[in-house]
Structure 1
Amino acid sequence: MPNQPPQTIDELMTRAHAMAGVTLGDLANEHGIETPQNLRKDKGWVGQLIEAELGALAGSKPEQDFLHLGIELKTIPVDHTGKVLETTYVTVAPLINIQGLSWEKSVVFHKLQHVLWIPVQGSRDIPIAQRQIGSPVLWQPTQTQMIALQQDWEEIMEMIALGKVEHITARHGEVLQLRPKAANSQSLTESIASDGSIKLSNPRGFYLKTAFTQHILQQAFNG
């Protein structure tokens, strides 16, 4: 059973700090959740387990996990040296009905206002049940980081608006990238074609690049 939502940021951080050093297996046992042998079919399992422990409510909704506190929760897999192992999913990208959508009204902007990062051991040579949870990092973007995020978002959204979604690669963007977001390539959604009509494309998601999240963790732990 998930824990009740924390009432204050202090309560949230107390819970987050209490998880540091705990293994995923021990945490799963506390919640009566079975630990999978691998994460290929259970990609969101770690995040869901942490959500249950911290009392997050949003799930997959396009809002912050702790909406009443204005905080988004993100687990982040790292190796034994603290190196970030993969990009961080932010939200599904809108591919139609985007006229008039501004950065300040975007889900990306909303979700990245205030983020609680939970590092988790992610090296594949460590069995999932034995992977430890790291110390939490409560982060708000600096003005420089926010400008970089906005520039990438606006550049990507302009390409989507011009019907160039198929031309956007993971290399676009300095800190934010657009990538296919679907269980398989058969998943299709509506998007804008180059002539302004509607066509079918694979769903896309916004992801934070590893160099960006690596910098966030380094700033927090190394000053």
Structure 2
Amino acid sequence: MIYETEQALLYKANGARGKTFREIDQHGRLDSKRSRGALGQIIEESFFGYEVNSNAEADFANLGIELKVTPFKQNKDKSLSAKERLVLNIINYMTEAEKGFYDSSFWKKNQKLLLMFYEWKKELNRGDYRIIETILFEYPEEDLAVIKSDWELIQEKINSGLAHELSEGDTQYLGACTKGANKNSLRVQPYSKELAMQRAFSLKQSYMTALIRQYISKEKLVNFSTLQELQEKSIKQLLNERFSPFIGMTMEETAGKLNIQVNPKNRSAVPNLISALLGVKGTKLDKIAEFAKANIQFKTVRLQPNGKPKESMSFKNIDFEEIAHEEWEESYIRNYFAETQILFVVFQFDSEGALRFKGIKLWHMPAQTIERELFDYWTEIRRVLAEGVIVTQTKKGMENNFPKSNFNGVVHVRPKGADGSDTVQLPDGQSITKQCYWLNASYIAEIVSDLDE
């Protein structure tokens, strides 16, 4: 069926709200082993009445609109988030290299999206997932400025013969995600004989979560930058501009300049400083649009006078049941560091013991480090779990045989419980003090070392 206007298409799409995939499916796809998981195909065939295809043009070509069916989930704190990134079209390295942004495969296929959101629930059969919201989405001008910059960065790597070095961490909103069953899904690229992983353009999971927060949860996100700024500079450049006038100041001096009150001993001191110096005083960092959409999370680093961090940096407590059964490509630790940008806000103690702002570093873990050191560490944790965790009593307390900080110099696991009685159960039934992922202090020192340059 041909929909002549956007209004007609959206009217039809809105008719799916509240319906389950089982109610929509007219071709038995839910019960077909060949099309398992193809919920989008059910919408295409049974709801809109067109044949499934892999055309380069948009699904509703006469309107320039691409259909995307995408899941969200409710978190433990009742907030909503995207369950996954939104995968768009495959990147053909050989032809994409010749394109400009507005004649690129990404733009021609995805400039307008009909987004149909369904709620994923672990306890439900996929046929019982229900369509909750439908929107006709066009990129806001501020977002488009960032996405265009992201596309140009991807394009630059392709044109430099570096498609094999593409990483989702390279960009802010628009990613180049791997697309294939395994590492054997390799493709030729121009300007290099080295094969590159097959990749697709994608809207990052954090970007999709921001859309869900805006359109379903009705949250209001606040921009710290203007459209003109985003058209002229990257988010990284804008952050450096905002922070640089305060280098060398103590927290109290910075607060005075910003006309706010802070207690350096309070955990909210640094977030409050950040929002104030970004010009959105009082806004929680996860409510800042650029932070939410690009998945920028801040971490405070306190350096000793010699430039070494006072301590390693903790992340999430480990779910041992999860890590014992997950695959590497879907593992928490891989996806966290592949998809998260960390804004290191760095302070250093001077010779008199005063803590002074040294600078910022917007960082993501290099893809090589993720696939080498991080993968090796994850593999070693799984080996220890499979062979049996050995817990021994020492003078310092209970110790285990998980790999220590000298394993590969990047990451380690150690306790982060309230006390020794704050425990978690291992897959073999033993109880152990809650353990957490930590980035090594020495590795953090390397990351922020260029602040001295």
The alignment's TM-score, normalised by the length of structure 2, stands at 0.44
CA RMSD of aligned residues (A): 2.3
In structure 2, the partner of 1:63 is 57
Instruction: Name the CA distance, whole Å, in 2 between partners of 1:57 and 1:105.
Output: 26
Cα contact 2:97–2:158 (8 A) shared by 1: no
Pair 99,181 (structure 1): closer, same or farther in 2 beyond 3 Å: closer
Deviation at 1:57, TM superposition (A): 5.8
Instruction: Name the CA distance, whole Å, in 2 between partners of 1:98 and 1:117.
Output: 25
Aligned match for 1:5, one of 2, 6, 10: 2
Instruction: Name the CA distance, whole Å, in 2 between partners of 1:213 and 1:174.
Output: 12
* CA deviation profile, 1:123-155 (whole Å, cap 9, x unmatched): 332211111011201111111111111100100
In structure 2, the partner of 1:180 is 178
Secondary structure of the residue aligned to 2:210 is helix
Secondary structure of the residue aligned to 1:64 is coil
Deviation at 1:12, TM superposition (A): 1.4
Aligned match for 1:215, one of 189, 210, 227: 210
In structure 1, the partner of 2:198 is 203
Taking CA–CA contacts closer than 8 Å with sequence separation of 6 or more, which of the two structures ends up with the larger relative contact order? 1
Secondary structure of the residue aligned to 2:177 is strand
In structure 1, the partner of 2:92 is 94
Instruction: Name the CA distance, whole Å, in 1 between partners of 2:86 and 2:71.
Output: 9
Secondary structure of the residue aligned to 2:93 is coil
Cα contact 1:75–1:117 (8 A) shared by 2: yes
Larger strand percent: 2
In structure 2, the partner of 1:73 is 67
Aligned match for 2:24, one of 22, 27, 31: 27
Name structure 1 gaps, 5 residues minimum. Answer: none
Aligned match for 1:82, one of 80, 83, 86: 80
Name structure 2 gaps, 5 residues minimum. Answer: 221-453
Pair 98,24 (structure 1): closer, same or farther in 2 beyond 3 Å: closer
Cα contact 1:38–1:128 (8 A) shared by 2: no
The alignment's TM-score, normalised by the length of structure 1, stands at 0.85
In structure 2, the partner of 1:167 is 165
Structure 1 or 2, whichever has the larger Rg, is 2
Deviation at 1:89, TM superposition (A): 0.8
Secondary structure of the residue aligned to 2:15 is helix
Pair 186,99 (structure 1): closer, same or farther in 2 beyond 3 Å: closer
After TM superposition, which residue ranges in structure 1, 4 or more long, deviate above 3 angstroms? Answer: 36-39, 55-58, 97-100
- Residue 7 of structure 1 aligns with an amino acid whose one-letter code is E
Pair 140,34 (structure 1): closer, same or farther in 2 beyond 3 Å: closer
Provide the aligned length of Structure 1 versus Structure 2.
213
Larger helix percent: 2
Deviation at 1:184, TM superposition (A): 3.1
Pair 38,130 (structure 1): closer, same or farther in 2 beyond 3 Å: farther
Secondary structure of the residue aligned to 1:177 is strand
Cα contact 1:16–1:135 (8 A) shared by 2: no
Instruction: Name the CA distance, whole Å, in 2 between partners of 1:98 and 1:16.
Output: 32
Instruction: Name the CA distance, whole Å, in 2 between partners of 1:16 and 1:141.
Output: 19
Cα contact 1:170–1:179 (8 A) shared by 2: yes
